[in-house]
Every structure is written in C-alpha cells, then in structure tokens.
Amino acid sequence: MSPVILRNVEVEGRPGLDVRLEQGRVAQIGLKLNGAGETIDGRGGALLPGFIDHHIHLLATAAQSQSVRLDELEGAAAFERRISAALAGRPHGAWLRVTGYHERIAGDLDRERLDLLAPCHPVRIQHQTGALWVLNSAALAALGEHDLPPVVERDDSGRPTGRIWRGDAWLRSRLPEVAPDLSSLGRTLAGFGVTGLTDASATTDASAAALLAQARLSGALPQRLMLMSAGPLPPSEAVQVGPVKVLLDDARLIELDDLVARIQGARPQGRSVAVHCVTAGELALTLAAFELAGAVAGDRIEHGGVIPAGAIPQIRALGLLVVTQPAFVFERGDRYLADVPPEELPDLYRCASLIAAGVPVAASSDAPYASPDPWTGVAAASARRTRAGQPIGVHERLAPTEALQLYLSAQAAPGGPSRRVVVGAAADLCLLDSPLAEALLEPSSERVRGTFIGGEAVFLRS
C-alpha cells in the first residue's frame, strides 16, 4: 500500500499540519512533511478518527434499498396510496417488502386488511420496532401454511393472522434467497465517515457471518466488522466476534433464570453480553439478571430506551455500558410525545445523566430502524429536538464535541476513551471540509471530504 500524505489538516485543534499514512498507520504528524506518496490537500479541514456504529443490522439495512419505506407517512389514505403505487405494474406473484410501519399510520394490520390492498401479490410489512412482520394471504401461501412455528400468531380458530413476532430467522428460511447489496451500503457508510461497524443481530448464524466476512474480504464492506449473535460463531480473520446478543420483548419477557443462564453461557465462549433493553421492564429484568450472574467488562445495555433515574446507580455499580441511539429523539420524537406517558419522557434515550454518573455511553444508529448517518445522531444528541422542533429531555443534551465522542470510542470498548489521531494509531480516519468547530455548528455528513480505512481512501468527495 502506497503512503499517503494529507496536507494542511487540523489535528486535535492544531491547524496547518501534515499527516503521513503508511502501512495502515499514522506514521508521522508535522509541518511540511517530506517524502514520496500520494498527496491529498486537506484544505484546512479537521482530521478525526473514523466513526464507529456500535449497533447496526447490516443485512436488513442493505435490504432497505429494495423496500418501500413508510417512516414519515401519516394517515390510512396515504398508506393505501403508497402500497397501491408500489404494486402498480408489478407482476403478479412478485414480492413487496415494506418497512417502517406504525399503528399511528393506519391502526393494527392483519392479513385481511392487507388482502384488500394486495390480493394478487405477496406482501410483508415490518413494524417500525423490527419486532413484527405482517403478511397477507398471498405471502402466507407462498411460504406454506404448514409446520408453522410459535412466532406465527394464530386466531382462536388456529388460522394464522398474518402477524409474525420476532420471526426473521424463520422467514429467511422460507423466503427466496436474494443477495443483499452490501457494496452500496458500504459506499454510503464510507461517505458518512464510518470506518467500523458492529452488527447487533441476534439472528446472525454461521451462514450470515460468512456472508458478512466475505463482504469485508472482497471490499464490498470496507469497514472493520464486529458481529454479535445469540449463539457461538466460528472465528474469522475478516471479522471480530463480539458480545452474545440477548433479545428481550416486554410482552413476552423470558424468566429471570433463563436470562441468567444465557449470560452465564456466554462466559465459556469468552464473550460479554449485550441485552436489548427498550422498556423499563426489560431493563429491570436485565439488571436483576446481571446482579445474579455477575457482570464482566464489556457487558452492555443496548438502546436504553427508558432508563429511570433510580436505575442509573445500579447500572454504574454493575459496570455496565450503554449503547444508545440519540437519533431516535429526532426521528421518532413526535410519536413519543403523543404516545409515551409524560412521566417517562425524561427517561428516554438518556446521555448526559449517564455520563455524569460515570456510566460509559456510546452511540449507534440501529439502522435500518433509524438513519445510518451518524451525523444525525450527533445533531440529535446536542439539540434533543424532534423532527417538528419539539424538545425532549433537554437535560440530556450534550455539547456538540461530547456528542461527537459518542461515535469515536474503540469498537471493542464502546463508551471508552475516544480514539485519537496520533503517531502509531490505526489510519481509520475521517477528513472534514472545515475545522471541527465550524463543522459542529450544523453537524452534517455533507462535511465529510474523505474516509480512510487502514490508510486507504475508501471515499473522497470530488
């Protein structure tokens, strides 16, 4: 790999520096460096460590490019128009995949309601939370209405309602195989300055891990990868094996002893545990389980959707870290204001209070359930306003520099110290088009001029 010299960049607040990248590392930092290599004019822009997305669902995010999205839709009429437009001209029997549904759009869905909209095409619609798919009769017939697992909801007569809860793995086993376009996703993320990804899917198995590892090896996904899973994963040179993922659902909470056993089962694998905690009930169960099983370094609370103030000291005492999604305050905040009890609003997606208490906090996208753009999260963590401009939990605001740091900790140590641009550091870097202070006045991925992974440019804005 040829050396690269980035000229006239700002490093940790010092302007006008040159930075040499060589053999995948930051080799030299100084004024007017000499030597051979490709030269890139930084034009005074800040050079930062690359962003890490500590919680993303890669295969589902890649599939979004082939999906109809409903995230910002309002009203049953708009929903019906969107589905009708998507089906127009589509051959009979061709699947339609739809994401981002919520009951505020058009109420509860089942197969009969979808049959009225799509009698001739198999349709599956994913709830905004990712917990539920709703299928019409054509889709159920295409999958085969036999040997159905418990994730498939049935009515009192035993007939499937079309509602499938946490059934992604089963659906994949029945659906036609379609290779996701991971290369397009990799390019998009590189354009945001993202250099590391942690896939947080509990459904990742050896097959999915091999697919993601191959994408990393081929360069389709240039970002460094860490994978969670519910069970063991084979070792790989292309990806790191991350925590064991435990997925909780408030409506169907597992027994405390079961959760304790899952935590203890991760230890012989040499792995920490990441528990999905969106509600206060899920958090209470999780904290009780860690009290009994014991927590180790790297054990994580994923999301922290609702964290009552009284739970913060226990989280700190257990040594747990929190990987949260500040962008939800912006993207879903108006719905939270309408649906969440007022007494819980101060507890939503905490940041500042956790950090003040000594709890390590890192940020992530949870894409495809929110935008994969980390700059959206930086802006949301510092503004704490909804898409309509309404404030939520302003006491949880961070200074823009603090919000940025949520994405700069090491992939293996979310919420730890921010990585730095220093000699010897990995050359996983994000080059901005302006000094950092200027860029943080209005955080936007449009500020990213270049992204480097292992010293190689994977994105350069022309």
- Which band of pLDDT confidence, cut at 50, 70 and 90, is reported for residue 173? confident
Mean pLDDT score, 341-355 = 97
Mean pLDDT score, 201-211 = 93
- Please give the pLDDT value at position 272: 98
Secondary structure E strands in 253-403: 273-277, 300-303, 321-324, 361-363
- 41 and 168 part of one domain: no
Mean pLDDT score, 92-99 = 91
- 412 and 439 part of one domain: no
- 112 and 261 part of one domain: no
Q: Where are the alpha helices (DSSP H) in 164-253?
A: 168-174, 182-191, 206-218
- 289 and 273 part of one domain: yes
Cβ-Cβ contacts under 8 Å for 190 (sequence gap 6 or more): 222, 223, 451, 453, 458, 459
- CA–CA gap between residue 115 and residue 19 (Å, rounded): 60
Query: 313: domain range?
Result: 51-60+181-418
List pLDDT tens digits, range 417-441: 999 999 999 999 999 999 999 999 9
Q: Where are the alpha helices (DSSP H) in 204-309?
A: 206-218, 256-266, 280-293
**Structure tokens given for 278:** 């969106």
CATH number at residue 167: 3.10.310.70
- CA–CA gap between residue 49 and residue 81 (Å, rounded): 44
- Tell me the HSE value of 308 on the side-chain side, using a 13 A CA sphere: 12
CATH number at residue 233: 3.20.20.140
Question: In total, how many domains does the chain have?
Answer: 3
- Please give the pLDDT value at position 74: 86
Boundary residue ending a domain (140, 174, 208) = 174
CB 50 within 8 A of CB 26: no
- 194 and 301 part of one domain: yes
- 309 and 393 part of one domain: yes
Q: State yes or no: pLDDT of 459 exceeds 90.
A: yes
- Please give the pLDDT value at position 15: 98
- 315 and 430 part of one domain: no
- 105 and 29 part of one domain: no
- pLDDT mean across residues, the chain: 95
- 245 and 165 part of one domain: no
- 74 and 147 part of one domain: yes
Number of residues assigned to the chain: 462
Mean pLDDT score, 282-308 = 98
Question: Model-level pTM greater than 0.75?
Answer: yes
Does residue 411 or residue 104 have the better pLDDT?
Answer: 411
- 100 and 206 part of one domain: no
Q: Where are the alpha helices (DSSP H) in 53-132?
A: 58-63, 76-87, 103-106, 111-117
CB 11 within 8 A of CB 19: yes
Exposed, middle or buried by CB within 10 Å (0-12, 13-18, 19+), for 102?
middle
CATH number at residue 437: 2.30.40.10
- 219 and 85 part of one domain: no
In one letter, which amino acid is 90?
Answer: R
